[in-house]
């Protein structure tokens, strides 16, 4: 059995089923019973994770109830060593107090928002034109364009003066670490105490324009969230400035859930001890989201414009499984289910925990930045051959796959917007998740994403061989 932050048994499946049923029980008891009766979680989880979103659309409080009950159940299930997770994160550290390494970058801060895209750096009129193009093609929501333009118009926001941005998973491809440093922000970089990871973090710190602080426990720089939970939590509490806790960690399989819960325990602790703490997350586009009417209309127009003579044979040969319509014709709120079976139920649960925490914290008055990031060619995705092939063929179905350099800066800019703009968040969690979403076209595509995934993979594989 794993040490540190862990599941109560060797089975992450048993925990996940229990948690999802608990999350649904108060709002959708029929759905909860369906979860409890599920005998093939590896395949069946797709339906239940979709129901978690659908059941929350009745009233804003329903979504918050599902989120709070899911988090309660997760925290009751998960352990750190032999202690409940919430108790462990508040326990006195077993090691001597941690020290801090500080690095000040040598560069001058960038004072203009510049987006790397297909070999160019977009600013001013070029950036405006690209934002217009993404909106026109349904790659991003119109509110995404509005938010990026507002940040571009306020370059003084980029430095995030007065905030201390804690980046959990500073070495992650999708994290904002490098962008924040270029803009001169005050950053706390937390990642594994591995020589290669820490060397890369230090190198970026010296090349940047901001201040970087690193945790040092004993002789090691860095922190393992799974095994250094109370030490890291106490060290973070001692830092100056308003804390912005950004969770960008990734791991394979069940470890991803464990890491997400470790980060969530720290978030809960900081919100209790320092109520002005802000939280930041990136939502994956390969999840289930309620989407606004504009996206539904665009999708249905794309479906109607599709060539029936091409679509009909695929649907007939597959028994209707391929190239299904994304939304019913008259839907006002769409439910876009872009869960990818190849990513598995642990990935879905790890990302759903973050969405739950964002919804609950926002309802309790905390500042929260949670933005849907576009599908991106990260190393963790491309090592899965099926996903890599699907990404290569996605453009044939109106979906744009982004490069990491572009996604990083865009998502960092949205973080700045969420921390500095005076926008009032919606009290409906689904609308807040849809705000400024960069879904890459999954929400506006004419076909249900999973019903086109296999064809996209075949076309992508054929294109790469050609």
305 or 119: which leads in pLDDT = 119
- Cα 85 to Cα 81: distance, rounded to the nearest angstrom: 9
Q: How far is Cα 284 from Cα 344, in angstroms, rounded to an integer? A: 13
SS3 assignment, position 104? strand
Identify the residue whose tokens are 């089975």: 11
| Residues of the chain above pLDDT 70, percent | 95
- Residue 1, pLDDT above cutoff 60: no
- Please report, for residues 33, 88, 417, the alpha-carbon distance to residue 430 in angstroms, rounded to integers and kept in the order given: 24, 32, 19
- Mean per-residue pLDDT, 67-73: 98
The phi, psi pair for 190, rounded to 5°, reads -120, 120
Mean pLDDT of 365-394: 90
CA separation for the pair 466, 454 (Å, rounded)? 18
The pLDDT of residue 382: 81
CA 281 – CA 245 distance, rounded (Å): 9
Rounded Cα–Cα distance for residues 154 and 22 (Å): 44
Torsion sign over Cα 196, 202, 205, 207: negative
Q: What is the pLDDT of residues 447-464, one digit of tens each?
A: 999 988 888 888 787 655
What is the 8-class DSSP label of residue 171? T
pLDDT of amino acid 315: 62
Structure-model confidence comparison of residues 165 and 396, the more confident one: 165
DSSP one-letter string for 10-27: S-HHHHHHHHHHHHHHTT
pLDDT tens for residues 95-153?
A: 788 999 999 999 999 999 999 999 999 999 999 999 999 999 999 999 999 999 999 99
Q: pLDDT digit string (tens) for 12-47?
A: 999 999 999 999 999 999 999 999 999 999 999 999
| 3-state SS, residue 47 | helix
Q: What pLDDT score does 3 carry?
A: 77
> At 318, phi and psi to the nearest 5?
-100, 5
Tens-place pLDDT, residues 209-250 = 999 999 999 889 999 999 999 999 999 999 998 999 999 999
Measured CA to CA, the distance from residue 168 to residue 102 in angstroms comes to 17
pTM for this entry: 0.95
3-state helix, strand, coil in the chain (%, to 5): 50, 15, 35
As given in the structure block, the two tokens for residue 232 are 């890291």
Query: Which residues fall within 8 angstroms of residue 35, CB to CB, at 6 or more apart?
Result: 17, 20, 21, 24, 48
- Report the SS3 class of residue 173: coil
| pLDDT surpassing 80 at residue 321 | no
Is the pLDDT at 63 greater than 60, yes or no? Answer: yes
Question: Which 3 state secondary structure label does DSSP give 241?
Answer: coil
Are the beta carbons of 113 and 410 closer than 8 angstroms? no
Mean pLDDT, the chain, rounded, equals: 93
**Residue 203 near residue 196 (C-beta atoms within 8 A):** no
CA pair distance 416, 411, nearest whole angstrom: 9
Within 10 A of 121 (CB to CB), how many other CB atoms are there? Answer: 12
């Amino acid at each position: 059995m794993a040490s540190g932050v862990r599941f109560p048994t060797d089975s992450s499946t048993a925990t996940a089923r229990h948690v999802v049923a608990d999350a649904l029980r108060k709002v959708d008891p029929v759905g909860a019973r369906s979860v409890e009766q599920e005998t093939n979680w590896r395949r069946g989880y797709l339906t239940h994770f979709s129901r978690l979103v659908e059941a929350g659309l009745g009233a804003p409080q329903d979504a918050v109830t599902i989120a709070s009950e899911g988090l309660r159940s997760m925290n009751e299930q998960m352990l750190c060593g032999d202690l409940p997770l919430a108790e462990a994160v508040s326990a006195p550290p077993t090691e001597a107090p941690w020290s801090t390494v500080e690095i000040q970058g040598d560069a001058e801060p960038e004072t203009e928002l510049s987006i790397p895209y297909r070999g160019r750096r977009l600013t001013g009129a070029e950036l405006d034109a690209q934002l217009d193009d993404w909106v026109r093609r349904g790659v991003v929501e119109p509110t995404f364009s509005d938010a990026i333009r507002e940040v571009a118009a306020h370059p003084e926001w980029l430095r995030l003066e007065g905030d201390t941005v804690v980046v959990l998973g500073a070495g992650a491809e999708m994290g904002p670490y490098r962008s924040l440093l270029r803009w001169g922000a005050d950053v706390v970089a937390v990642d594994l105490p591995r020589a290669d990871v820490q060397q890369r973090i230090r190198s970026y710190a010296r090349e940047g324009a901001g201040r970087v602080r690193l945790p040092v426990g004993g002789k090691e720089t860095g922190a393992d969230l799974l095994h250094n939970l109370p030490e890291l939590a106490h060290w973070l509490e001692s830092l100056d400035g308003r804390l912005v806790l950004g969770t960008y960690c990734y791991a394979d399989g069940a470890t991803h859930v464990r890491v997400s819960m470790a980060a969530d325990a720290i978030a809960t602790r900081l919100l209790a001890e320092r109520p002005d703490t802000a939280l930041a997350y990136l939502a994956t586009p390969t999840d289930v989201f309620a989407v606004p009417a504009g996206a539904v209309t665009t999708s249905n127009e794309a479906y109607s414009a599709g060539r029936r003579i091409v679509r009909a044979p695929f649907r007939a040969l597959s028994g209707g499984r391929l190239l299904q319509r994304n939304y019913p014709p008259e839907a006002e709120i769409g439910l876009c289910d872009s869960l990818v079976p190849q990513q598995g139920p642990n990935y879905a649960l790890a990302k759903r925990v973050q969405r739950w925490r964002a919804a609950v914290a926002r309802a309790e008055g905390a500042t929260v930045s949670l933005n849907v990031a576009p599908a991106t060619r990260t190393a963790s995705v491309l090592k899965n051959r099926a996903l890599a092939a699907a990404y290569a063929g996605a453009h044939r179905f109106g979906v744009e796959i982004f490069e990491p350099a572009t996604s990083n800066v865009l998502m960092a800019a949205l973080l700045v917007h969420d921390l500095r703009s005076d926008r009032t968040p919606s009290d409906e969690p689904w609308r807040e998740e849809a705000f400024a979403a960069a879904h890459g076209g999954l929400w506006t595509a004419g076909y249900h994403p999973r019903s086109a995934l296999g064809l996209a993979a075949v076309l992508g594989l054929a294109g790469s061989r050609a």
